[in-house]
Structure 1
C-alpha cells in the first residue's frame, strides 16, 4: 500500500493538521457513535444521505488517526493508537480495516519497536483488536507473522518496560488464538509463557520466590494467555501438559498476589475440565492435597490479607473447588440485543474473558455483529439487520468470511468438544 502522505480534501496534509482537537473529543465521538441505535437514528432523522455523511466523517477521523500514528510527537501517536483502539472495540470495521491492514500493521510495528511503555502497551492492544476485526484467515495471519517476533522479543527481554511486557503477554495469547496457523507454533508460544509464570512457583520447601508486584502481574498475564491456548491444544499436547504442569501449578496457589492465586485456580479448573473431557475417569495423584488447598482459599480468614482480596478470592475458589471435586461449573448467561449466550464451561469462560479484556464494553456489540466472534461462540450468522450493517455486508465480505470461518474451524477443531475422547491420558 502507498506510504506517502496525501493531501486531504479539507486542505493541508494529515501530517501537519491535528485531525482532532479537545473540543472534537475524538474518543468520546467514537464511543458515542458506537451503537447501532446511534447509526440508525441518523438515518431516521435525515435519511440515507445523512447516514452516508456521518459514515464518511467517521472514516475521515479514522484515517486521521492512522496518519497520526507516525507523528513525531509521542503524545499524538499515543492518542492516535487509543483512538483506533476505541473505534475497533466499539464498531465493526472489517472493510475499512482490511483495505488498510498493512499500513496499520506497520504503525503498530514502529510503535512497538521505538515507543516507550504506554505507547507500546497501546500498540500491543491495537494489534489484538486488529486481529479480532479481521478474524481467522490469511489477513490476520499476515499481520501476526509480522508482529509475533517483536512480541516475543519484548516478552523475553528482562530490560524492556515492564508494562509493555505485561501488555504483550496478554496480546500475544489472543493473537495466537486468532491468527496462528500452525499448532506447533502455538506450543512454542506456550513455552514462552511457561518460561515466565513458572518463576512464581513456590519452592519445594513451601517458600515463595521474591517477586515484585509488577513482575507478578507479568507472570499472571503469561499464565492466563497460556491457559487460553490450552483450549486449542491437540490431545497429545494436552496429555504432555497435564503430566508436566498439573503437579506443579498448585505451587502458584501460595503466591502473595491475589490475582496470581485466582489465575492459578482457574487454570487448574480448566485443566481438570479438559482432562475429564478426554477421559471421564481421569485421576490425579495429588487430588486430596489440592482439594485441601482450594478449600483453604475458599474459606480464607488470613488476617494479613485485604478484605476485598479475600472476598474476591473466596468466590472464585468456591467455584474452582466444585470444578475439581465434582466437575461442576457455575453457569452464567450473557444477554446481548435479543439474544443470549450461556457460559457453561471453563473453556468458554477463559475464551470470553480474553476477548472481553480487549473490547470491554463493546463485547455485547461484537457478540451481535462480529462474524468471527460469533463463530468462536457458535452463535451463527449476525442477526443485525439495520441499514448500516447491511451496507457493510457486501458479497465480497461473505466470500472472505467463508474462508476465514473455515480456517478458524480447522484451527480450533481440537477444542474440548471436538477432542478425541478415546485418548488415554493415564493417571497422575
Structure 2
C-alpha cells in the first residue's frame, strides 16, 4: 500500500487526538488580562481624558452653533438651529447653555418674529429643548421671553399651515 494511503484503526485515533498548545499544557488561562495595575490605571485615565476631550469639543461646537444663529442668511440661521437641536437631543449641556440664556432667547424671538417658514419651524422645535436644558434658574425667564413670540408666530396668517402647526404645538408646551 502506498505511503499516506493507510487505512485502519490507528488513523482514527490520530484524527481524534487533541493537540494542545504550550499555554494550554501549562494551565494558563488566556482570558485573564495580564496587564499590571499601573498600565490598567493609565488605560482608564486615557479613556477618561478622551471622554473629557470629546465633551470639550462638543461644547465648543455648540458655542459655534450659537454664534451661527446671528448669521445673515435665513437658511444659515435655520441650519444652525437644527444643528443645535440635534446636539441637544444627544447630550445634556446645561453648563454651556445657562450662560447663553439671554442670547438664545433673543435669537429665537427674532427668528419667530422675522424669520421665514423654515427658520420659524427650526426655532419652534429648538425652544422646548433649550427650556429643558437651561436649568431651573433661567427657565422661567426664558419661557416668558419666548411664549409671546410663539403665540404671535402661531397667529401669523402669512406663514404656512405647516409652520403655524409646528409653532402652535410648541406654544401649548409652555401653557
TM over 0.5, shorter chain: yes
Cα deviation, 1:162-219, whole Å, max 9, x if unaligned, reads 222111111111123xxxxxxxxxxxxxxxxxxxxxxxxxxxxxxxxxxxxxxxxxxx
Cα deviation, 1:368-412, whole Å, max 9, x if unaligned, reads xxxxxxxxxxxxxxxxxxxxxxxxxxxxxxxxxxxxxxxxxxxxx
Give 2:39's aligned residue.
Answer: none
Residue pair 1:78, 1:122 contacting (<8 A) in 2 also: yes
In the TM superposition, residue 141 of structure 1 has moved relative to its aligned partner by 1.1
**Change in CA separation of 1:141 and 1:163 when aligned onto 2, cut-off 3 Å:** same
In the TM superposition, residue 44 of structure 1 has moved relative to its aligned partner by 4.9
Give 1:84's aligned residue.
Answer: 84
In the TM superposition, residue 70 of structure 1 has moved relative to its aligned partner by 0.8
Residue pair 1:118, 1:163 contacting (<8 A) in 2 also: no
Residue pair 1:125, 1:167 contacting (<8 A) in 2 also: yes
The reply to whether residue 102 of structure 1 matches residue 115 of structure 2 is no
Answer 1 or 2: which has greater helix percent. 2
In the TM superposition, residue 158 of structure 1 has moved relative to its aligned partner by 2.2
TM-score (norm 2): 0.69
Distance of 2:142 and 2:116 partners within structure 1: 22
In the TM superposition, residue 134 of structure 1 has moved relative to its aligned partner by 3.3
| Aligned alpha-carbon RMSD (Å) | 1.9
* SS of structure 2 residue aligned to 1:122: helix
The reply to whether residue 170 of structure 1 matches residue 137 of structure 2 is no
The number of aligned residues is 133
Cα deviation, 1:324-344, whole Å, max 9, x if unaligned, reads xxxxxxxxxxxxxxxxxxxxx
TM-score (norm 1): 0.30
Give 2:153's aligned residue.
Answer: 154
The reply to whether residue 52 of structure 1 matches residue 52 of structure 2 is yes
* SS of structure 2 residue aligned to 1:100: helix
Distance of 2:134 and 2:69 partners within structure 1: 20
**Change in CA separation of 1:54 and 1:118 when aligned onto 2, cut-off 3 Å:** same
Distance of 1:74 and 1:158 partners within structure 2: 20
Alignment of 1:257-268 (within 5 A): none
Give 2:143's aligned residue.
Answer: 144
In the TM superposition, residue 61 of structure 1 has moved relative to its aligned partner by 0.6
Distance of 2:79 and 2:111 partners within structure 1: 12
Gaps of 5+ in 1: 1-42, 177-428
